[in-house]
Amino acid sequence: MGVGINVEHLNAFYGKTQALFDVNIAVAANHATALIGPSGCGKSTFIRCLNRMHETIPEARVEGAVRIGDLGVYNGTSATQLRRRVGMVFQKPNPFPTMSIYDNVAAGLKLNGFRKRKQLDEIVHKSLHSSALWDEVKDHLHKKSGASLSGGQQQRLCIARALAVQPEVLLMDEPCSALDPISTGKIEELIFQLKEQYTIVIVTHNMQQAARVAEFTGFFLLGKMIEFDKTEKIFTNPSDKRTEDYVTGRFG
């Protein structure tokens, strides 16, 4: 089951440039939370802070507290330990091109020292089922490479790879922006199913997508969380004029 995420007074920097300013948010377990806002407003930086990918950039640093369930993200937890609990799916599908479909899904497990073939088989099977890809690839698991799949299938393969390490949280950074409408529909359907087991945070430029898949939505502007509420309220009756201007298309 997913766990909640609590963020308090989060500030993020790239060298001397501040990218996030005093962000506070409580993300509900087993729900989808969408983050919206114009380009460059801090949405992707924010989710990269949740799994400590932000610090992989030279001179990047974070202040404040992030808790995922009972785990203090910046309190001595190793990045490896954290990323077992927090899966990430990126904007552009990134399967390992030389690996088979099977090995793509099993990659994270093998990296963590998993070697038992029967268990690997079970987890790969389950992860491909969970990412709604099994029926399309079951006859080619070892024959085809991950790169031979269509864009939408590659993105679902990346979701299967993230699920295989059995995380509690799934972060998605614009997972549909490179996909056609049919593939986008499949990923959105998948988000609906996955939130029964995982806590999902999705960054999206597509406001209709946020309205379709997320129970909660946060609006970012210039590195600040302007408003966070139930999705329906954000889109129909926001409390802040800037949110209203953005969701009604006056800027962005």
Instruction: Spell out the domain ranges in the chain.
Output: 5-93+167-247
Do 20 and 35 meet the contact criterion of CB atoms below 8 Å apart?
Answer: no
Alpha carbon distance 34, 213 (integer Å): 8
Provide the pLDDT for residue 252. 67
Q: Please report, for residues 33, 175, 206, 207, 219, the alpha-carbon distance to residue 36 in angstroms, rounded to integers and kept in the order given.
A: 10, 13, 8, 7, 5
Alpha helix (H) ranges present in the chain? 43-50, 79-85, 101-111, 117-130, 134-137, 151-164, 181-194, 207-213, 231-236, 241-247
The conformation of residue 55, written as its DSSP 8-state character, comes to: G
DSSP SS3 for 5: strand
Token pair for residue 222? Answer: 């210039």
pLDDT in tens, the chain (252 residues): 779 999 999 999 999 999 999 999 999 999 999 999 999 999 999 999 999 999 899 999 999 999 999 999 998 889 888 988 999 999 999 999 999 999 999 998 888 888 889 999 999 999 999 999 999 999 999 999 999 999 999 999 999 999 999 999 999 999 999 899 999 999 999 999 999 999 999 999 999 999 999 999 999 999 999 999 999 999 999 999 999 999 998 876
Of 117, 80, 101, 112, nearest in space to 161 by CA: 101
Provide the pLDDT for residue 54. 93
Provide the pLDDT for residue 197. 94
Global pTM reads: 0.94
Start-to-end CA span in the chain (Å): 36
Provide the pLDDT for residue 1. 76
Cβ-in-10-Å burial (0-12, 13-18, 19+) of 1 comes to exposed
CATH number of 5-93+167-247: 3.40.50.300
Of 141, 158, 47, nearest in space to 100 by CA: 141
